[in-house]
Amino acid sequence: MQEQLKIACIQSDLIWENPKKNRKLFSEKIKTITEEVDVIVLPEMFSTGFTMNASKVAETMEGETVAWMQKKADKTGSAIVGSLIVLENDKFYNRLIFAEPSGDLHYYDKRHTFTLADEDRVYKAGHKKLIVEYRGWKLCPLICYDLRFPVWSRNVEEYDVLLYVANWPKPRIQAWDILLKARAIENMCYCIGVNRIGMDEAQNEYSGNSAVYDILGNPITSLKPNREQIEIAILDKKHIGFYRNKLKFLSDRDHFNLE
């Protein structure tokens, strides 16, 4: 078990509906990470942007982008995390992939599809929460709109890290900032949010505001809005243990069933 986990957050613009160019873009960015890290986090739909043209750019789990993630994980020794459009059993999913250096793959299908953009009409919602046990840490990866729904992200699994990948637009970025901090505080965990920047073909603008918060809701990164950046955050198990033992807020959770 590692006492510390090093997370590289890549805040980047995306090339619209062009998986090949986006893979090249992120290959170049990953090359610039010169120190060893445990996890490299990319934005939501990092290979295409947040498009509803799923049939044009969807891939299978045996496709080039998943294979690219596995190759990068093997080469860097870091897990690679991000979501992409996956076609499976004639249905489209906004699927987060957690690719380990060992070759193991974990995936999570976005539960809360974004009705405001008709994502629910194009993509099938997932119903299974994912907890990844990796290098002695328990991580719960989620996608963008999931951030607005605290019951789904509720820490009943004693996870250490909540991780959101996103294409969260600039007009509602204040909600992103506040809710990331709230999820960290209420779940007594580190909370990571990696969002894209730039303008997409649907004329949605994104400012990034990627961040990592500790258990108390304090930011431990300093990524700037509207700027392509890579920042490495160091998470510490002692921080989690100290405050959970001292404050014990998770012991007072309400008990209910999610339907």
Active site residue 44: yes
Question: Positive or negative CA dihedral for 167, 198, 163, 184?
Answer: negative
Residue type, 258: L
Helices (H), the chain: 19-31, 54-57, 64-76, 119-122, 150-153, 173-187, 237-247
Q: Which of 72, 110, 129, 181 is catalytic?
A: 110
For every residue of 197-214, DSSP letters joined together read EEE-TT--EEE---EEE-
Q: Which of 9, 100, 129, 144 is catalytic?
A: 144
Task: Kindly give, in sequence order, each residue whose CB lies less than 8 Å from that of residue 111, ignoring residues fewer than 6 positions away.
Answer: 125, 126, 127, 129, 142, 146, 149, 152
What is the distance between the terminal CA atoms of the chain, rounded to a whole angstrom? 34
CA distance 152 to 156: 10
Q: Which of 9, 29, 44, 119 is catalytic?
A: 44
Active site residue 140: no
Active site residue 205: no
Residues carrying an active site annotation: 44, 110, 144
